Amino acid sequence: MNEFIPDQINDWDLLLDKYFHYLETERTYSSYTLSSYGNDLKQFYQFLNQNYDLNKISPDQITKQMLRGYLGHLRKETYLATSINRKIACLKSFFNYLFSQKLISNNPASGLFSLKTEKKVPQTINYENIKQALALPDTNSAIGLRDQAIIELFYGTGIRLGELSNLKLNNLDFFNGLVKVSGKGSKERLVPLGEMAIRSLKKYLDVRSELLKKTIIKDVSALFLNKYGKPLSRRGIQRRVAKYLQFVSIGGTNPHILRHSFATHLLNEGADLIAVKELLGHSSLSTTQVYTHVSTERLKKIYQQAHPRADSDQKSS
């Protein structure tokens, strides 16, 4: 490892280029994460420039007090704890990288800790409402069959929005009933495809060529296409799913509500927590455990309704 060389730390742009190259090539972060980190660092630089004049300081002159001042500024701006924690993670990642490369002599982010946040119970949709949503697309059109396949895939596999938007044709394995998913950090996993999802996907693939005719690009590997024959964007998927969920869901229209429902329904039916963790692509079991709260509440209701000693009047008699 090279010794600390202070002459290398005065060019912020150069350091940023090196840092994002590292995130993209070695950490294999997604374009979405890279964009989020870029926005967070830009906001941090704006704060530094307004309060300390960014042209007169180098990264090695950043102190813990400066970082705490920035976080205090975010609290005054009424940012949610979850948003501040993401910015803290970004700062820690950036300064950890600079310190590990000996581009700074001290790591000012080493003493930063995430704020405590209240774990929210994920919003879900019951199975009857999901069936209603699946019946809404016009299956006489290629767009309708595509939309139905998207909803089936979200609920049938529990994959993330970004994962679904990045799916390619060759990710599908109908013979073995699997789909290869590239998750966070480009970690790949195989997720089972149910019969209903396979059936819906095959119907869409039968008419996918109708959409492909509308573009001059004939070798489009993306699984889901828009009406112009180009890959359907992340935002486009969100809009299409929201179009149908607005009629059946009071908890929200984000596609991740289908992911939450997938996990909750599996646990309600007795699925193993570790198995659900693997299906969801979570790196930590604690992340998956948030879904057990929903299942526990359901068990409590069943107990109150069914157990002869659950009723307080019965107990006192």
Q: Residues near 96 by Cβ (< 8 Å), separated by ≥ 6?
A: 107, 109
The more confidently predicted of residues 273 and 56 is 273
Query: Is there a contact between 212 and 220 (Cβ–Cβ < 8 Å)?
Result: yes
Per-residue pLDDT tens digits for 114-127: 887 766 778 899 99
User: What is the predicted pLDDT for the residue at 208?
Assistant: 95
What average pLDDT does range 116-145 have in this prediction? 90
What average pLDDT does range 280-291 have in this prediction? 85
The more confidently predicted of residues 228 and 3 is 228
User: What is the predicted pLDDT for the residue at 315?
Assistant: 44
**Distance of alpha carbon 93 from alpha carbon 177, whole angstroms:** 38
User: What is the predicted pLDDT for the residue at 78?
Assistant: 84
Per-residue pLDDT tens digits for 54-76: 777 888 889 999 999 999 999 99
**Distance of alpha carbon 181 from alpha carbon 166, whole angstroms:** 8
**Which residue in the block uniquely carries the two structure tokens 């890959």?**
231
Per-residue pLDDT tens digits for 199-250: 999 999 999 999 998 877 767 899 999 999 999 999 999 999 999 999 999 8
Query: Is there a contact between 209 and 193 (Cβ–Cβ < 8 Å)?
Result: no
Structure tokens at 155: 């609920």
Query: Is there a contact between 227 and 208 (Cβ–Cβ < 8 Å)?
Result: no
Per-residue pLDDT tens digits for 100-117: 998 888 999 998 888 877
Structure tokens at 145: 């069959």
**Distance of alpha carbon 168 from alpha carbon 170, whole angstroms:** 5
Query: Is there a contact between 269 and 143 (Cβ–Cβ < 8 Å)?
Result: no
Give, as one character, the DSSP assignment of residue 177. Answer: T
User: What is the predicted pLDDT for the residue at 9?
Assistant: 46
Annotated catalytic residues are 160, 184, 256, 259, 282, 291
What are the structural domains, with CATH classification, of the chain?
A: 6-100 (1.10.150.130), 127-254 (1.10.443.10)
